[in-house]
Chains A and B, each alone.
Chain A
């Protein structure tokens, strides 16, 4: 699927469509409250309402059918390898991300897989992410710099899901976990740096939760740093 070029406006579309629905409901409520004090014979009132209902039924059926058929052009499924510039394998685990170039996730076991939680992508690249999970179900959600979600896919143990995204806009994108996966679900962060052509990649800096959080979770201290460092050493 070629992503929406208007993807960043998708949230706006959602908002407007819902607003139309809410306004329609409010109009109906207003009509009912303002006319209810009047008394009309049941059959006469029913006939008037059902005349509107007939038009509404066919109108709604048409709208839903057109909406359904139009939306089928924007499904996130299907193979788009022919457009892909670069492929990354993504392994979600409790509680971090390992991302590595190539399709290693298809050939290596989840225990062998090595990756980093920060990657560089060239603006304009059409990227394929092969997404899997080591332990429980997670979800790979990509956020742009404005904080809008632009794409997501589930990361399920025992399966790989292919997510395609066209990084047309440069910037620092963040990956958040979108499927509740345990105590540090809210702390699984990765970075996709979409800036300029690839130069000497700086030593990948592992991002850690703040010390304040570590104190809060003393009993369940998650040593993300150690895990990430082990992965990096394995990668080198």
Chain B
């Protein structure tokens, strides 16, 4: 553990608190956009398609930006307060950049009606649009700004850790392949942070290439770029950012769960092999987004399925079994933090099952772009990453007395979790019923099952979202109370 000055500790804590509050404000606003979408699909409102697709774009880009940012911020906080000094001044600057980016995105969508979806599938943002080119420019620039902030942050952490631990090979844990007791010891979170953030570097670079091409097209409309190349670029960007959001949060679990179980997680060869393999899988699995582009070179399609099939092996056999070994007969007190971390793991597993099914090319032929796709990634995010984030926020607002959280918080969490699964089941059923995704309305499809079942499932989903918001409100009452009560420099770490 490093020793921070009181002032530095306060600054890092303040930065984390700022991120926590940013997330708590943005999250329900972004949920509301999703609620409006499902309401339209359930024919409960008459939102015009323009607005539906604008909500869809802000919901998607907003959620992924906010969730990745806070997952990264959480990692930053744990690393900077326990292992390696990071610049809190830089951290605040990056927060400001990302906040600016989010505001720009909000303006581009809510005012400019930018509505091509998160993935801006080229050349859709430029043909027969219901938004002006200024909205395209502003939204694209906003994501560029966010990307620059993420890249600076990622490189700062990687460089600082590499300097502290004597090089990248040590960050990847390779020293443990030769010895159980190497000179440069690292904690598992250091290795996980490295493996989560390296793909982030590539993701931001490929994303930047995609976004710069978009800006070139805005400036010179006569240009034309290859649609397949653009799809590969944007899918790499989106897939990697979403994936590493989960892995950043999993890093917290590795580090914090032992504080509750009293069982330390030690670095060993098995962890090193499995996480280094995961790095490889994160980078190449993105090809599974292009299975239905039959013109994509066949080797890429096969690689996509191989990598997608391989990635659950370390994720379940190593990480999930590590969590099981942490909790099995551990006499753990089921306070909010271990509870949320475990439920988050379960969500990751369930979403993962659905993902592996969809990543099978043969199944993808009838699942692609149906509601099965939002089913699986909403499971990852809503019942994987969000419980991890909530657990983390309860952790950083804890002291000796309130570490386990209140009955109210647990009650709120169970409402949230149950309602979330109800909401998700509607998506899964929609996938099994072949309901297409990204439809503002199912009423005109002339496929009776899609018309009726699509709308019915959306209506039920709306009711579940209302209960999600109820559960979240109860959690917020508990969390905000803790934010204001716990002193900013207070740190509750249990030695194990």
Q: Which residues of A contact B (CB under 8 A)?
A: 7, 10-15, 17-18, 21-22, 25, 28-29, 31-33, 35-40, 42, 45-46, 48-50, 52-53, 56-57, 60-61, 64, 67-68, 71-72, 74-77, 94, 135-137, 139, 141, 143, 146-154, 156-163, 174, 176-187, 189, 191, 207, 209-210, 213, 216-217, 220
Contacts and interface: CB of A to CB of B under 8 A. Distances in A.
Contact of B293 (A61, A147, A154, A216): A154
B305 A35 contact: no
What 6 pairs across the A-B complex have the smallest Cβ distances?
Answer: A147-B449, A21-B353, A40-B329, A74-B362, A39-B331, A149-B434
B130 interface: yes
A158 B329 CA distance: 60
Interface of B: 46, 48-50, 53, 116-117, 121, 123-124, 127-130, 226-228, 231, 262-263, 292-295, 298, 301-302, 305-306, 309-310, 312-313, 316-317, 320-321, 324-325, 327-332, 334, 342, 346, 349-350, 352-354, 357, 360-363, 365-370, 372, 428, 431-434, 436, 438-450, 453
A158 B306 contact: no
23 contacts: A10-B363, A11-B433, A25-B346, A25-B353, A36-B328, A45-B329, A56-B317, A56-B321, A60-B313, A72-B302, A139-B292, A143-B447, A147-B433, A152-B292, A152-B368, A154-B293, A159-B227, A160-B295, A182-B127, A189-B444, A189-B445, A210-B444, A216-B48
A154 B294 contact: yes
A139 B369 contact: yes
Contacts of A39: 329-331
A40 B330 CA distance: 6
Contacts of A56: 316-317, 321
Given A45-B325, A174-B446, A149 B370 contact: yes
Contacts of B434: 11, 143, 147-149
Contact of A186 (B49, B117, B292, B295): B49
Contact of B361 (A17, A46, A75, A179): A75
Nearest to A21: B353
B49 to A, nearest CB: 5
B129 A182 contact: yes
A185 B53 CA distance: 10
Contacts of B362: 71, 74-76
Contacts of A57: 313, 317
Contact of B309 (A67, A174, A216): A67
Contacts of B124: 136-137, 180-182
Nearest to B321: A53
Contacts of A179: 121, 369
Given A14-B367, A39-B329, A135-B127, 9 more contacts: A14-B363, A45-B328, A61-B313, A64-B310, A137-B124, A148-B433, A157-B123, A158-B227, A210-B444
A141 B448 CA distance: 15
- Interface core residue of A12, A21, A146 (most chain B CB under 10 Å): A21
Contacts of B334: 33, 36
Nearest to A42: B263
Given A137-B124, A143-B447, A159-B228, A152 B369 contact: yes
B349 A25 contact: yes
